[in-house]
Structure formats: C-alpha cells, structure tokens
C-alpha cells in the first residue's frame, strides 16, 4: 500500500514517519512513534481519551488524519 513520508512536530521534536493518507493521527502517534499517552476509546469523538494539543488547541486525535498534522505543533504527548 502506498505511503507518504511526512514530518510531524511532536513535543518540539521533528519526527519523520511513513503514513497512508487515511491513517489517523492517533494511530501514528501510538505506533510507529510510540507515544501511547493518547488512548483509543470510542474512535468517534465522544470519549476524549485520545485528546491531544495541536497548535495550542485541544483536538481529538481519533478525528484527525496524520497528514493534517503536518506543519502543526503537537504537544503534551507522553509515551
């Protein structure tokens, strides 16, 4: 399956990963980046277990594609 190389700014660190266009930010943060602080729960935006901070605003990582996070700063993500 075709993957694109993207670079994400995560916790003030540039991380390069290969993703499919449909990969959720939540899934990419957890694996391959290994940041498991954001948890999968309902996967439809209701429970908030996947909440992260993107450019200073809280976002639900289950509702955001990894490719949408390019050029934004994701913070407060813990392993």
Shortest gap between Cβ of 42 and ligand FES (angstroms)?
Answer: 4
CB 76 within 8 A of CB 41: no
Between 46 and 55, CB nearer to ligand FES: 46
The beta strand positions in 1-79, using DSSP E, are 4-10, 13-19, 51-54, 57-60, 73-75
Shortest gap between Cβ of 70 and ligand FES (angstroms)?
Answer: 20
Interface ranges with ligand FES (CB under 6 A):
40-43, 45-50, 60, 62
Between 32 and 45, CB nearer to ligand FES: 45
Between 13 and 46, CB nearer to ligand FES: 46
Any bridge partners for residue 60, and if so which?
A: 51
Largest CA distance in the chain: 33
């Amino acid at each position: 399956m075709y993957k694109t190389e993207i670079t994400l700014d995560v916790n003030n660190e540039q991380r390069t990963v290969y993703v499919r266009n449909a990969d959720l930010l939540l899934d990419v943060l957890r694996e391959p980046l290994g940041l498991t602080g954001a948890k999968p729960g309902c996967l439809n935006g209701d429970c908030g277990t996947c909440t992260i901070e993107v450019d200073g605003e809280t976002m639900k990582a289950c509702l955001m594609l990894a490719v949408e996070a390019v050029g934004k700063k994701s913070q407060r993500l813990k392993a």
